[in-house]
């Protein structure tokens, strides 16, 4: 990867973010929003592998998020081990789900695939809300007070922020490696046209399935980080349809099928959510969602390719003015 | 560049939300669902809490029998006023965490009150616990909120086991009075509210010697409930206990009428049956429905009557039980802050723990307010009310009854 | 006897689902476009009915008014928003109607508040007793309307010149343009029809169902299932799938318990999709 100023500046800002806001007297709140943002970026980046690169718009990723959120709290409630210990198992469960859902569903394309994933996710949510072992409708809780650092319960959000940031870096690095590999070309070929890809010798089903498994495992990590931080999960917050929709919206807003699209989407959407709720939520007038919905609508109307395209256009404009040379197509 | 936008957006948000504040004001953070499915209930409860703050800050000579009320501010803090900071948790635990953290660290609230949904109270109290800020739970009834050994949380409301016991004692009284009460059906919605109360009611019914012939869980978003009503019609229990939210409670009454099925008695557990929309919508069909309520408007001239008048002037409707429990919790908190004589969280918490209010110092039907070591109100109680005409009136236990009890219920007949 | 009542209940509920879904499938099939704001259209239909009752109009007045108002809204939404995203990526389409849904839902929220509403009693509020089987008038009317609407829309698409032009645009936009059809006008009309049917559905549902601005989401997911089960774009498919889902819903709620009915409905749906991916009547 050529050293490009954009991504480097972005990472530098993300790393320095807690330091920057520590000057503000509302630092703990900003740090918490920051951690939420990075977590959302992890989920959306994981979704992006199958939803963006392979163009298979899954609206059922809440299953994997939920597996990630539930398994760590389940191992805690069964054996009192730190929730962190459940993360590998959570990833495994998510991968099994991905195989079970992917094998029959990948014969479906377009909206049918989306609908099938929604329906399976609803099924799983309904089963979990009636399953005593998983806390049924009431949900599951983590340790109430930390027994040691390994419970990952901190008073401040900064440790979460850096843990999440590290995971995000890994997810983006994996995506980056994927993008350059033969596998990445397969994915894009499938997105461009499944029939054409097959005729070129791309093993379509296998490629989609592997991408789905990888995406599921990484989404499960996001879910695990969520439930470890919040210390609680119930069917709605773990497997609710809004969990899936949020991943899709963030990736689409930033630019699906691009390396930094999901992160850019999260950088815009999460602060937007937080700011509108902080400003207008307390009044109870509904203004929060009028503004939030309006902005999403306008972005879709005027920037259908996502914010990253806007960024690239701006960059091309600026570069063009200086060099008039060929623009490095990102 | 993106980062800059983000920061400035949030900073603007921060400054605006903080708003103008007088130096001696005591800030209290209130977090409720103001959007999403429960927005109606959340807004109503927040209105009631805002009224509680007005009662504390203003001068109301006729209400001074309630501690710290009507004296124009908190007397032990030189007449300081309470300033209410409000936030919307949208029914999401993670939003509740983030907004609670914001109010504690940015607005520097001295104490918190909330949060309607049990699961949201569960996670928001954990944030307050870690930050060392008192959190008063006004209305959430799930047991697990108070069983974690937290030091910074108290709960004023009666809880699931209290209600369930009341229902069964009432039914036993009816049995003693010669009415036929052998079988009970429990119908509850399937989220933490319905499951925790429904489960407790079933347990208590069995231990009080009733035969539970149906225990039906359903999804509160149901667009149709006729199958459940037909199940009830077939089993024909002597009493049906509903644990329902608003739309489903209304739908049950309408569906029962259209399928021509009326059990001898219905007990509705608060929430949907107490929603301000319930009586205008199906009051004519639900004559004689029993409901729990720790709140009663009372006779003209009484403290409760006056409070209801004030609420009505503000919002155009009567105070309901859920909102009234929130109002009472806010008054308990205000009194504790006053007795602490300080805005230091540890002093307020100590004062809260030391709360000892008698029956005539509270506006609700509690026997008073006194917390045990877990933070539960040991004197919490509720009475049963019955829909007669356009209003719920207290009918049980007999000593607080304002009207004779009707059995069986009349319904639409 | 009780089982018969359950079946009748299922048929009536199915009619409601069909009513809800027919407009959705029109857009989905014709433009390959998922409208996430369809539930909000229905919600607005309910509030139109509410406002009309304030000035003392009964169902004979508010149903047509809701239809006309929502038709106008549908056309406006098409020209203001949909036209510009319809040839963009599928994700932009999802984003746009998701944003629209939030905007509409919370605009209603800001104006009408979060409170639950019910319509006052009218000549449609009662119940019919047919030999011990109880049928709510409002649901009966909704059922009849659903049947009429489904048949009417099907005939419109298959038997009229306007229908041929609508279908021509959905088959091949540029070829249709060469034939002298203006695709924008046709698609705006489709959005108008779709929204108008949502308006009728909302106004009829409001008679028997308490509602708040959040009500759209309650129906939306089931409506998607109905549409996909019936086959995208197949209006008769939506009708049949609506009835099937309604019956399965009621019978499983009665036999297994209400919390399992959704499990059965979604399970059935997934199974059908895996066996017959194009839906019951879909062409694929």
pLDDT at A268: 92
Q: How far is B16 from chain A (nearest CA, A)?
A: 7
Would A45 be classed as within a structural domain?
yes
Report whether B124 contacts B97 (CB < 8 A). Answer: yes
Residue B413 clears pLDDT 90, i.e. is over it: no
Classify residue C120 as left (phi > 0), alpha (psi -120 to 50) or beta.
beta
Token pair 């929430």 in the structure block, residue: B271
Instruction: Provide the domain count of chain A.
Output: 1
**A169 touches B150 (CB < 8 A):** no
Measured between CA atoms, the residue of chain A closest to residue C33 is A111
Domain membership of residue A215 (yes or no) is yes
Question: By the 8 A CB rule, do A227 and A238 touch?
Answer: yes
Tokens of B219: 């999804």
Read off the pLDDT band of A3 (50, 70, 90). Answer: low
pLDDT band for position C110 (cuts 50, 70, 90):
very high
Task: Please state, as a whole number, how many other Cβ atoms lie within 10 Å of the Cβ of residue A308.
Answer: 23
Q: Is B9 a residue whose pLDDT tops 70? A: no
- Give the tokens for residue A72: 């760590």
Instruction: Give the model's pLDDT for residue C283.
Output: 60
Residues C262 and A126 sit within 8 Å (Cβ to Cβ): yes
- pLDDT value, residue C221: 81
Judging contacts by C-beta atoms under 8 Å, the chain C residues touching residue A305 are 88-89, 92
| CB nearest B10 (choices: A138, A226, A271) | A271
Segments making up each domain of chain B, as ranges: 16-158+299-370, 161-293+383-400
Q: Which domain holds residue A124?
A: 26-304
Residues C93-109: what's their mean pLDDT? 92
Instruction: Calculate how close chain B gets to C143, using CA atoms only, in Å.
Output: 14
How many C-beta neighbours within 10 Å does residue C3 have?
11
pLDDT tens-digit profile of A166-202? 999 999 999 999 999 999 999 999 998 888 999 988 9
Tell me the CATH number of domain B161-293+383-400, given options 3.30.70.270, 3.40.50.2300, 1.10.1530.10, 3.40.50.300. 3.40.50.2300
The residue in chain A having the minimum alpha-carbon distance to the alpha carbon of residue B38 is A284
Across chain A, mean pLDDT equals: 89
pTM of this structure: 0.90
SS3 B154: strand
On the question of pLDDT at C53 being above 80, the answer is: yes
Report if residue C282 sits inside a domain: no
* Confidence at residue A48, expressed as pLDDT on a 0 to 100 scale: 95
Structural tokens at position B207? 């231990």
B205-218 mean pLDDT? 94
- pLDDT of C91 > 60? The answer is yes
Q: Work out the angle between the directed axes of helices A261-280 and A307-323 (0-180°, nearest 10).
A: 120
Q: Where are the alpha helices (DSSP H) in C82-136?
A: 83-85, 90-112
Q: State the CATH number of the domain containing residue A77.
A: 1.10.3470
**Contact assignment for B276 to C115 by CB distance below 8 Å:** yes
Whether B172 has a pLDDT exceeding 90, the answer reads: yes
What pLDDT was estimated at residue C127? Answer: 86
Residue B12 predicted with pLDDT over 50: no
List, for residues B23-40, the tens digit of each pLDDT value. 478 999 999 999 888 888
pLDDT band, residue B19 (cuts 50/70/90) = very low
Q: Which residues pair with B371 in a beta bridge?
A: B377
The answer as to whether A173 is a domain residue is yes
The reported pLDDT for the residue numbered B386 is 94
CATH topology for B16-158+299-370? Answer: Rossmann fold (3.40.50)
Q: Which CATH number is C45's domain given?
A: 1.10.3470
Question: How does the average pLDDT of chain C come out, rounded?
Answer: 87
Using the predicted structure, report yes or no on whether residue B196 has a pLDDT greater than 50: yes
CB contact under 8 A, B34 and A282: yes
Mean pLDDT of B85-100: 92
Judged against a pLDDT cut of 90, whether residue C130 lies above it is answered with no
Query: Can you give C1-48 as a three-state secondary structure string?
Result: CHHHHHHHHHHHHHHHHHHHHHHHHHHHHHHCCCCCCHHHHHHHHHHH
CA-derived radius of gyration, chain B: 22
- What are the pLDDT digits (tens) for C132-181? 888 888 888 888 888 888 888 888 888 888 888 888 887 777 888 888 88
Residue C122's pLDDT band, with cuts at 50, 70 and 90, is: confident
Chain B residues whose beta carbon lies within 8 Å of the beta carbon of residue A129: 190-191
Count of structural domains, chain C: 1
Per residue in C112-143, is it b (16+ CB within 10 Å) or e — as a string? Answer: bbbbbbbbeebebbebeeeeeebbbbbbbbbb
Task: Tell me the C-alpha distance between C238 and C261, whole Å.
Answer: 20
Mean pLDDT of C70-81: 95
Say whether pLDDT at B8 is over 80: no
Instruction: Give the start-end residues of each E strand in chain A.
Output: 140-141, 232-233
**Residues on chain B touching A236 (C-beta within 8 angstroms):** 191
Q: Left if phi > 0, otherwise alpha if psi is -120 to 50, otherwise beta: which for B396?
A: beta
B315-329, B367-381, C156-170: segment of lowest average pLDDT: C156-170
Q: Which domain range does residue C109 map to?
A: 2-275
pLDDT at B2: 41
Listed as own residue / partner, the contacts of C256-259 with beta carbons closer than 8 Å and 24 or more positions apart are C257/B216, C257/B217, C258/B216, C258/B217, C258/B218, C258/B219, C258/B222, C258/B225, C258/B227, C258/B228, C259/A126, C259/A129, C259/A130, C259/B190, C259/B217, C259/B218, C259/B219
Tell me, what's the pLDDT at B353? 95
With tokens 């019951």, the residue in question is C280
Cβ B218–C259 below 8 Å, yes or no? Answer: yes
Contact C263 A290 (CB under 8 A): no
Interface of B with C (CB under 8 A): 34-37, 39-40, 42-43, 190, 216-219, 221-228, 230-231, 233-234, 246-247, 250-251, 254, 257-260, 275-277, 280-282
In a domain? residue A289: yes
């Amino acid at each position: 990867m050529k050293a490009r100023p954009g991504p480097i500046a972005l990472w530098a800002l993300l790393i320095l973010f807690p330091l920057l806001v520590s000057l503000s007297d509302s630092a703990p709140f900003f740090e918490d929003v920051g951690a939420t943002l990075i977590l959302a970026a992890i989920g959306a980046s994981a979704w992006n592998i199958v939803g963006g690169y392979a163009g298979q718009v899954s609206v059922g990723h809440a299953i994997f998020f939920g597996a990630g959120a539930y398994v760590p709290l389940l191992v805690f409630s069964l054996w009192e081990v730190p929730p962190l210990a459940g993360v590998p198992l959570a990833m495994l469960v998510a991968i099994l789900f991905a195989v079970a859902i992917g094998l029959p569903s990948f014969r479906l394309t377009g909206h049918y695939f989306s609908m099938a994933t929604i329906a399976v996710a609803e099924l799983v949510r309904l089963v979990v809300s009636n399953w005593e072992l998983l806390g049924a409708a009431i949900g599951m809780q983590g340790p109430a007070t930390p027994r040691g650092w390994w419970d990952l319960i901190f008073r401040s959000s900064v440790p979460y922020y850096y843990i999440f940031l590290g995971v995000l870096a890994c997810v983006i690095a994996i995506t980056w490696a994927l993008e350059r590999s033969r596998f990445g070309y397969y994915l894009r070929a499938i997105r461009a046209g499944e029939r054409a890809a097959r005729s070129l010798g791309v093993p379509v089903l296998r490629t989609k399935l592997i991408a789905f498994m990888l995406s599921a495992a990484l989404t499960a990590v996001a879910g695990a980080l969520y439930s470890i931080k919040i210390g609680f999960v119930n069917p709605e917050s773990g497997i609710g349809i809004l969990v899936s929709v949020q991943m899709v919206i963030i990736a689409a807003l930033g630019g699906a099928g691009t390396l930094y699209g999901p992160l850019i989407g999260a950088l815009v959407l999460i602060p937007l959510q937080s700011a509108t709720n902080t400003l207008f939520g307390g009044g109870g007038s509904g203004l929060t969602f009028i503004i939030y919905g309006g902005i999403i609508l306008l972005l879709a109307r005027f920037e259908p390719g996502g914010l990253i395209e806007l960024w690239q256009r701006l960059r091309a404009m600026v570069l063009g003015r200086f060099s008039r040379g060929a623009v490095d197509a990102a | 560049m993106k980062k800059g936008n983000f920061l400035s957006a949030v900073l603007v948000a921060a400054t605006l939300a903080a708003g103008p504040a007088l130096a001696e004001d005591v800030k209290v953070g209130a977090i409720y669902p103001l959007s999403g499915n429960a927005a109606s209930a959340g807004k109503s409860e927040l209105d009631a809490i805002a009224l509680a703050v007005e009662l504390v800050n203003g001068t109301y000579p006729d209400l001074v029998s309630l501690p710290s009320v009507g004296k124009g501010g908190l007397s032990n803090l030189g007449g300081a006023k309470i300033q209410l900071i409000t936030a919307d948790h949208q029914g999401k635990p993670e939003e509740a965490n983030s907004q609670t953290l914001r109010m504690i660290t940015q607005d520097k609230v001295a104490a918190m009150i909330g949060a309607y949904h049990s699961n949201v109270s569960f996670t928001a109290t954990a944030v307050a616990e870690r930050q060392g800020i008192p959190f008063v739970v006004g209305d959430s009834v799930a047991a697990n909120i108070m069983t974690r050994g937290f030091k910074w949380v108290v709960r004023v409301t009666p809880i699931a086991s209290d209600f369930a016991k009341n229902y069964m004692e009432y039914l036993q009284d009816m049995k003693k009075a010669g009415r036929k009460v052998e079988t009970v059906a429990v119908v509850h919605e399937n989220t933490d509210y319905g499951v925790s109360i429904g489960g407790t009611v079933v347990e208590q019914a069995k231990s009080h010697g009733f035969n539970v012939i149906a225990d039906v869980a359903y999804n509160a978003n149901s667009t149709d409930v006729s199958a459940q009503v037909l199940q009830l019609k077939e089993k024909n229990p002597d009493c049906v206990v509903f644990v329902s939210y608003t739309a489903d409670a209304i739908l049950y009454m309408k569906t029962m009428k259209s399928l021509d099925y009326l059990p001898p008695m219905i007990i509705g557990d608060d929430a949907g049956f107490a929603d301000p929309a319930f009586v205008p919508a199906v009051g004519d069909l639900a004559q004689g429905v029993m409901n729990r309520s720790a709140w009663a408007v009372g006779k003209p001239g009484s403290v409760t009557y006056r409070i209801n008048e004030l609420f009505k002037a503000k919002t155009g409707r009567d105070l309901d039980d859920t909102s009234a429990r929130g109002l009472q919790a806010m008054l308990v908190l205000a009194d504790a802050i006053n007795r602490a004589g300080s805005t230091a969280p540890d002093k307020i918490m100590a004062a809260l723990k030391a709360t000892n209010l008698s029956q005539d110092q509270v506006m609700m039907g509690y026997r008073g307010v006194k917390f045990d070591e877990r933070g539960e109100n040991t004197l919490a109680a509720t009475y049963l009310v019955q829909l007669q005409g356009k209003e719920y009136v207290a009918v049980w236990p007999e000593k607080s009854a304002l009207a004779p009890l009707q059995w069986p219920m009349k319904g639409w007949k | 006897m009780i089982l018969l009542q359950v079946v009748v209940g299922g048929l009536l509920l199915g009619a409601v689902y069909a009513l809800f879904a027919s407009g959705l499938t029109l857009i989905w099939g014709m433009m390959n476009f998922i409208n996430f704001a369809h539930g909000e259209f229905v919600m607005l239909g309910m509030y139109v009915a509410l406002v009309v009752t304030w000035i003392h109009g009964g169902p004979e007045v508010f149903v047509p008014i809701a239809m006309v108002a929502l038709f106008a809204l549908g056309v406006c939404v098409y020209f203001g928003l949909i036209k510009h995203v319809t040839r963009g990526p599928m994700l932009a389409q999802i984003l746009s109607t998701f944003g629209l849904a939030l905007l509409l839902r919370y605009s209603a929220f800001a104006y009408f508040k979060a409170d639950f509403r019910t319509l006052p009693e009218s000549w449609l509020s009662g119940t019919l007793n047919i030999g011990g089987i109880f049928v709510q008038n409002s649901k009966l009317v909704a059922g009849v309307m659903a049947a009429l609407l489904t048949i009417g829309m099907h005939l419109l698409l298959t038997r009229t010149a306007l229908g041929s032009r609508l279908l021509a645009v959905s088959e091949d936009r540029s070829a249709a343009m060469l034939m002298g059809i203006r695709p924008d006008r046709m698609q705006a009309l489709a959005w108008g029809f779709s929204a108008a049917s949502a308006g009728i559905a909302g106004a009829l549902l409001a008679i028997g169902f308490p509602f708040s601005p959040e009500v759209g989401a309650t129906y939306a997911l089931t409506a998607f299932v109905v549409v996909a089960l019936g086959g995208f774009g197949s209006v008769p498919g939506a009708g049949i799938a609506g009835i099937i889902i309604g019956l399965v819903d009621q019978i499983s709620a009665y036999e297994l318990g209400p919390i399992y009915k959704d499990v059965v409905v979604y399970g059935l749906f997934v199974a059908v999709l895996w066996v017959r991916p194009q839906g019951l009547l879909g062409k694929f």
